Amino acid sequence: MTTLLEKVCCPADLRLLDADELVALAAEVREFLVDAVCRSGGHLGPNLGVVELTIALHRVFDSPRDPIVWDTGHQSYVHKLFTGRRAEFGDLRGPGGLSGYPSRAESVHDVAENSHASTALSYVDGLAKAFALRGERDRIPVAVIGDGAMTGGLAWEALNNIGSAAHDRPLVIVLNDNTRSYAPTVGGVADHLARLRAGTATSVFGELGLVCTRPVDGHDLEALETALRQARGLALERGRPVLVHAVTVKGRGYPPAESDDADRMHAVGVVDPATGRTSRPSAPTWTATFGDEIARIAAEREDVVAITAAMLRPVGLHRFATEFPGRVFDVGMAEQHAVTSAAGLAMGGMHPVVAIYATFFNRAFDQALMDVALHRLPVTFVLDRAGVTGEDGASHHGMWDLSLLNLVPGLRIAAPRDATTLRAELREAVGDDTGPTLLRFPKSAVGRELPAVRQVDGVDVLSECAGEDVLMVSVGALASTCLEAAGILAAQGIGVTVVDPRWVLPVNPVLADLAASHELVVTVEDNTRAGGVGAGVAQLLHDRAIATPVCSVGLLPEFLGAGKRADLLSAAGIDGESLAERVAAELVSRAEWQDVEVVA
């Protein structure tokens, strides 16, 4: 028998259903989401919380003529179901499959990928201006902002502009107030929303110039639809921005996601739908190893404090927070504020550790440069999910940090290769009071220990041979890949010395001395090749007038799609076999070129 969900192929189909059918549809959607997301992994809790809201939005607004911008975009799965993509959920977050965020390549109903939080209000501000300039005053752009995104500074910059618009910018803002980002939302904004829900405060949004509704039950379809229709009418009639305050429950209808441990269900891997738990024991991760060691350091040093941008558990700071609650600061989705606040903490005599996903640290580049590095402050940055991250796709790969931060004077960057070097380099970073330091590591299991055979002025030599063919410079977790390639090349009679600089930027000058005794230098990193470690090594050799050529192996300057980390690295030529082939080809090419020069 055909289900109601199977009958909804486009938003217009929702308008054909009666009230009872809509309630039944919401139940079907939740059942579908639990099954699909638990099979593939993805954002479960946020989407279970917006089922009724998405139904009401698509019944009231005419997408894509009325563009709907989701912030953050991980709450758009239901929107995808209602815009013709139900059959594609079998490949959710897989290579070539359905993105975990809105995707302009997938559908005209997806306006912006919007996977970095707090941007929707700026998008709709621009869309409303464009529609006004084009005379399309019957089009209403809609921003759905939730999951803590209102704690981001960019949202308030946009509100400052939107609220000042007189009668020329009709738009609708839906505040999806579920009290949570990953964990419960913190700060003055969260407190104000709580007072609005209790009916004990005057809305700050109204004071900024928006027309505001009273808080409405985000799971009451009739009330939601009525509020949204009123908002659309007011926006058109008055030419003004209107805010609908919808109160929802994250994880609605799925007990594991509504429990006290709900933040664990914000985003899940492959889990048992019945329990929400994985059936496989998980290997130790980089994140867990960092979290364990920073808590130990905090027990030893009272000046060490930690900062997170709404991601306490995802970046591994929950143990630190449990043991030393007064020394961990969650600033909300505000990476820029996190970094400059860390600067103030350092000025006040503390040693702050700022743990952020690498992709989100892009936002705080200016603060790292001008607020921390310019003042030579002892702040330690820890970039989780650096390099190729996997299934979250283009916006979440942390493949730009080395290129961007290579520009910051005085910043020392470490890339640990295993658990032992992570613990050691973290301690070295926190022990440095001369200026800023940074550690980067990927989203994956830590892997096996890779001991050094010897050390040369801070550079670990991981393997060496009698020949002087190739010096391979490994960056971080790619050490095992480099050792695999070295083994393959050794079987072909090509000698490879594999080194791990540990502190990869600025480039250790000893690499120039090591390079001078080899025919070829190969650098291997999961960062874009432009401006990364390879570029730094090449510059060092040029400055020292060392003629040894440098082959830089890294990522091309393009946006990578979703997929398993190992598969994406392999596709980029960063696996043992591909790397060995690349090195052998470089040596042959160099030999042939030298022969040509001799003949000439």
Distance CA 155, CA 488 (A): 52
Residue type at position 51? V
CA angle 284/286/292 to nearest 5° reads: 75
**Residue 99 β-bridge partners:** none
Is 58 annotated to bind a ligand? Reply is: no
CA distance readout (Å), 163 to 157, 208, 266, 281, 490? 10, 5, 32, 51, 67
CA distance readout (Å), 142 to 65, 178, 231, 380? 11, 18, 10, 39
Q: Where are the alpha helices (DSSP H) in 216-331?
A: 221-238, 255-258, 286-300, 318-323
| 129 phi and psi angles, rounded to 5 deg | -65, -45
Is 178 annotated to bind a ligand? Reply is: yes
State the DSSP string of 338-385: HHHHHHHHHHTT-EEEEEEEHHHHGGGHHIIIIIIITTT---EEEEET
* Nearest Cα residue to 176 out of 198, 146, 152, 151: 146
Is 572 annotated to bind a ligand? Reply is: no
CA angle 24/28/31 to nearest 5° reads: 140
Distance CA 358, CA 287 (A): 13
**Residue 522 β-bridge partners:** 472, 551
CA distance readout (Å), 294 to 192, 288, 372, 563, 578? 33, 10, 21, 30, 36
Distance CA 172, CA 142 (A): 5
Is 116 annotated to bind a ligand? Reply is: yes
Neighbours of 288 (CB within 10 A): 16
Question: Which residues are part of the catalytic machinery?
Answer: 250, 335, 363
Judge whether 26 and 82 are in contact, CB under 8 Å: no
Judge whether 445 and 386 are in contact, CB under 8 Å: no
Return the exposure string of 126-140: e unless at least 16 CB atoms fall within 10 Å of the residue's CB, then b.
Answer: ebbbebbeeeeeebb
Is 581 annotated to bind a ligand? Reply is: no
Is 245 annotated to bind a ligand? Reply is: no
Element (H, E) at 570: helix 565-571
Annotated binding-site ranges for Mg(2+):
147, 178
Annotated binding-site ranges for thiamine diphosphate:
74, 115-117, 148-149, 178, 254, 335
